[in-house]
């Protein structure tokens, strides 16, 4: 190969140039930018390369490595994996800070490119500052923590290795069946080493989404099973939205009269007021969805992992004749729990199945069940007629719902709100409900809201977060302020971990170490969240009632920077209707009568598992 066919670049420069050249099917850069916190493991190599490419690949500065990774992941989730972001850190604590975010992306099947700095490949200064040493293996570093939480992992110890490693990383991020985080651990000396790279390596490449068609025999057998079903149910998972199959799902449900229940990831696959949409299913599901699920003799899962919250720890489907069908592009997920697996794209599979069914239609009483469900829970979200006592989370949800429009995205991740929102939130168009509940990671909320807004700037993004999650990770609020990313944060202060406190009580435990008042503090902790948010540059107000919350949400509409509304809430009430048992093991031996009673109930419920 002649010199004119190559260009001499450092490994870091070549990596950045390659990343910037990759495109999606719409012709957009697949990697929309790189979040970076620099340190000695990446500032001289990758930092200099990013500076040189700042006009073609944006670099964003975060305040916490995990937080900026959450923002990148939320960005990809909101855009349904059509685009993604890269995240880089130094070696040591900067890298391990990102491992939790990598696990979140892995569980949720979301693309993100992690570029942590690594130790010296040449080992000259061994051990380098922040290096983790394995006493029995000199090739191990802290970045090996990424191996189990990455869909693709590689350590770059020679400059030319990125020629094979980068295409493999992008293949993992863009293949819907294998989608997830890719990690390239970049040895810091190698980042700065030069190599004569082939020019063709940097030619723009379009990464097209694979849409494999299902096998004809699988469609035929699935159609036969559906025709013989008397009470079928569709279970819509996140794969419906990632595969952009919501219109196909709607057409299939309407044509064949099959009701649809939604997982947390699949919520908003159908609008809440569609006659066949039963809402959330499982542990945090609606009474309507769970009633149909209990009697269903066939459950057609579309793009779902069948997580335990979805299935009530596999005690929800009680019909002894129940059969499980699964449409999923990922074979690993499709065959779970001995389901009859249809491997293929959600839209193509549903269309093929619909054609095979012809004019077959089920008879459903979903409309009556939905009417009964909302009649029972709408009073919980209504504005209170008096101001006695602290507001409930249900009332807060009602206020946010009334203030929302068709352009609103409500988002959350952990604590009390995910369960209440799954039951009570009336979702609008696809993508209007953004819940990270695969990993249910406290701290995702503020950074995630920023990522959603960056993905879809025209959206009105409302972040629902409890005081516990906010205290775990709030630093990216300062980033959102600095970048001019307007989000609305509704911070419900129940003075601790209210959700787990209720679970502790439900399993017979004494209230211990969850609410602040039950922790072993010498001085009762008290945080002025309004002052804290203001100190980070946001506009913040305290709402003393639901009426004041509604006024504040009205003010938030015209805000030009992050707007935080803090409201004290009662940590004890939860929606009594709907929901299903969840397998949380209760101790067999305890001195507490409450635990003994809870154990007896646990053993009874566990017998319901087929």
Count of other CB atoms within 10 angstroms of residue 525 = 11
Give the per-residue pLDDT at 367.
Answer: 81
Give the per-residue pLDDT at 366.
Answer: 81
The mean pLDDT value of the chain amounts to 96
pTM, rounded to two decimals: 0.97
- The residues spanned by each domain of the chain are 7-206, 216-369, 382-568
SS3 609: coil
Residue 240 near residue 246 (C-beta atoms within 8 A): yes
Tell me, which fold does domain 216-369 have in CATH?
Answer: Rossmann fold (3.40.50)
DSSP 29: B
**For residue 292, what is the enclosing H or E element?**
helix 287-295
Phi, psi of 267 (to 5 degrees): -65, 135
Q: What is the pLDDT of residues 333-363, one digit of tens each?
A: 999 988 999 999 999 999 999 999 999 999 8
Give the per-residue pLDDT at 13.
Answer: 98
Report, as an integer, the average pLDDT of 502-508.
Answer: 97
d(CA 19, CA 16): 5
d(CA 166, CA 15): 8
Considering only CA atoms, give the Rg of the chain.
25
Q: What is the pLDDT of residues 111-160, one digit of tens each?
A: 999 999 999 999 999 899 888 888 999 899 999 999 999 999 999 999 99
Q: Looking at 157-171, 384-398, 489-503, 585-599, which range is the least confident one?
A: 384-398
Closest CA to 342 of 217, 518, 488: 217
Count of other CB atoms within 10 angstroms of residue 44 = 17
Give the per-residue pLDDT at 2.
Answer: 47
Q: How far is CA 224 from the centre of its chain?
A: 35
DSSP bridge partners of 325: 300, 340
Residue 564 near residue 540 (C-beta atoms within 8 A): yes
Report, as an integer, the average pLDDT of 290-301.
Answer: 97
Closest CA to 376 of 452, 288, 489: 288
**For residue 218, what is the enclosing H or E element?**
helix 216-227
| Residue range 382-568, CATH number | 3.40.50.970
The single residue listed with the structure tokens 């397998």 is 583
Closest CA to 532 of 564, 576, 578, 505: 564
Give the per-residue pLDDT at 462.
Answer: 98
C-alpha distances (whole Å) from 227 to each of 217, 218, 231, 387 are 15, 14, 10, 54
**For residue 410, what is the enclosing H or E element?**
strand 408-412
Residue 85 pLDDT greater than 60, yes or no: yes
The single residue listed with the structure tokens 């709402």 is 543
Give the per-residue pLDDT at 363.
Answer: 80
Q: What is the pLDDT of residues 311-325, one digit of tens each?
A: 999 999 999 999 999
Phi, psi of 198 (to 5 degrees): -65, 135
Q: What is the pLDDT of residues 202-218, one digit of tens each?
A: 999 999 999 999 999 99
Whether the bond into 25 is cis, omega within 30 of 0? no
Q: Do domains 7-206 and 382-568 have the same CATH topology?
A: yes
Ordered strands of the 488-493 beta sheet: 433-435, 408-412, 460-466, 488-493, 563-568, 539-543
d(CA 337, CA 310): 13
Residue 538 near residue 477 (C-beta atoms within 8 A): yes
SS3 233: strand
SS3 content of the chain, % helix, strand, coil (to 5): 40, 20, 40
d(CA 150, CA 179): 10
C-alpha distances (whole Å) from 551 to each of 35, 82, 97, 391, 540 are 35, 37, 38, 15, 13
User: For residue 1, what pLDDT band results from cuts at 50, 70 and 90?
Assistant: very low
C-alpha distances (whole Å) from 336 to each of 206, 249, 314, 327 are 32, 21, 12, 11
Q: Looking at 347-351, 371-375, 520-524, which range is the least confident one?
A: 520-524
**For residue 548, what is the enclosing H or E element?**
helix 546-556
Report the relative pairing of strands 205-206 and 22-23 from DSSP bridges: parallel
Count of other CB atoms within 10 angstroms of residue 405 = 9
The single residue listed with the structure tokens 């101001």 is 387
Torsion, Cα 596 578 306 105, to 10 degrees, reads -90
Q: How many CA atoms lie within 13 A of 130 on its CB side?
A: 19
Residue 182 pLDDT greater than 60, yes or no: yes
Q: What is the pLDDT of residues 25-82, one digit of tens each?
A: 999 999 999 999 999 999 999 999 999 999 999 999 999 999 999 999 999 999 999 9
Report, as an integer, the average pLDDT of 243-250.
Answer: 98
Residue 610 pLDDT greater than 50, yes or no: yes
d(CA 379, CA 601): 30
Residue 483 pLDDT greater than 90, yes or no: yes
Closest CA to 571 of 518, 501, 508, 523: 501
- Structure-token pair, residue 433: 């409900």
d(CA 454, CA 411): 14
d(CA 536, CA 548): 23
Burial of 164 (0-12, 13-18, 19+ CB in 10 A): exposed
Tell me, which fold does domain 7-206 have in CATH?
Answer: Rossmann fold (3.40.50)
Q: What is the DSSP string of 477-546?
A: HHHHHHHT---EEEEEE-SB-HHHHHHHHHTT----SSBGGGS--SS-----HHHHHHHTT-EEEEESSH
């Amino acid at each position: 190969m002649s010199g004119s066919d190559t260009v001499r670049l450092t490994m870091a420069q070549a990596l950045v140039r390659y990343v910037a050249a990759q495109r999606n099917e719409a012709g957009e850069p697949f990697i929309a930018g790189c979040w970076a916190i620099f340190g000695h493991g990446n500032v001289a190599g990758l930092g200099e390369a990013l500076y040189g490419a700042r006009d073609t690949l944006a670099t964003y500065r975060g305040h916490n490595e995990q937080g900026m990774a959450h923002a990148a992941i939320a960005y990809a989730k909101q855009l349904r994996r059509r685009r993604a972001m890269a995240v880089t850190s130094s070696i040591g604590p900067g890298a391990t800070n990102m491992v939790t975010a990598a696990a979140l992306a892995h569980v949720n099947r979301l693309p993100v490119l992690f570029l942590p700095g690594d130790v010296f490949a040449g080992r000259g200064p061994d051990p380098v500052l922040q290096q983790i040493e394995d006493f029995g293996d000199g090739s191990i570093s802290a970045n090996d923590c990424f191996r189990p939480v990455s869909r693709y992992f590689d350590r770059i110890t020679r400059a030319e290795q990125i020629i094979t490693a980068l295409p493999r990383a992008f293949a993992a991020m863009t293949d819907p069946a294998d989608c997830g985080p890719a990690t390239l651990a970049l040895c810091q000396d190698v980042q700065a080493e030069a190599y004569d790279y082939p020019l063709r390596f940097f030619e723009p490449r379009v990464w097209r989404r694979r849409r494999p068609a299902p096998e004809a025999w699988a469609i035929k057998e699935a159609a036969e099973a559906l025709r013989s079903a008397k009470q079928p149910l569709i279970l819509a998972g996140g794969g419906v939205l990632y595969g952009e199959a919501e219109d196909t799902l709607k057409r299939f449900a309407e044509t064949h009269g099959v009701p649809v229940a939604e997982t947390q990831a699949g919520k908003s696959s159908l609008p809440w007021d569609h006659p066949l949409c039963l809402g959330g299913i499982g542990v945090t599901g609606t009474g309507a969805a769970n009633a149909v699920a209990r009697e269903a003799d066939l459950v057609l899962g579309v793009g779902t992992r069948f997580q335990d919250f979805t299935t009530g720890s596999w005690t929800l489907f009680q019909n002894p004749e129940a059969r499980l069908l699964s449409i999923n592009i990922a074979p690993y997920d499709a065959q779970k729990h001995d389901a009859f697996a249809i491997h293929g794209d959600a839209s193509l599979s549903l269309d093929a199945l619909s054609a095979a069914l012809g004019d077959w239609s089920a008879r459903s009483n979903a409309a009556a069940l939905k009417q009964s469900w909302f009649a029972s829970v709408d009073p919980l979200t209504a504005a209170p007629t008096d101001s006695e006592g602290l507001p409930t989370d249900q009332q807060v949800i009602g206020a946010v719902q009334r203030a929302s429009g068709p352009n609103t995205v409500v988002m959350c991740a952990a604590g009390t709100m995910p369960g209440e929102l799954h039951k009570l939130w009336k979702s609008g168009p696809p993508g209007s409900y953004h819940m990270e509940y695969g990993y249910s990671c406290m701290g995702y909320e503020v950074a995630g809201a920023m990522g959603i807004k960056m993905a879809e700037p025209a959206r009105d993004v409302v972040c629902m977060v409890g005081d516990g999650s906010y205290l775990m990770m709030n630093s990216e609020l300062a980033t959102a302020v600095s970048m001019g990313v307007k989000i609305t944060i509704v911070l419900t202060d129940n003075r601790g971990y209210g959700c787990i406190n209720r679970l502790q009580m439900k399993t017979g435990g004494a209230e211990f170490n969850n609410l602040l008042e039950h922790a072993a503090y010498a001085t009762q902790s008290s945080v002025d969240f309004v002052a804290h948010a203001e100190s980070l540059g946001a506009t913040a107000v305290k709402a003393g009632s639901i009426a004041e919350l509604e006024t504040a949400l009205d003010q938030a509409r015209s805000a030009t920077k992050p707007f935080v509304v803090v409201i004290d809430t009662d940590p004890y009430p939860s929606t009594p209707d709907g929901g299903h048992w969840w397998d949380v093991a209760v101790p067999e031996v305890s001195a507490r009568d409450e635990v003994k009673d809870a154990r007896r109930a646990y053993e009874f419920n566990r017998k319901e598992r087929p």
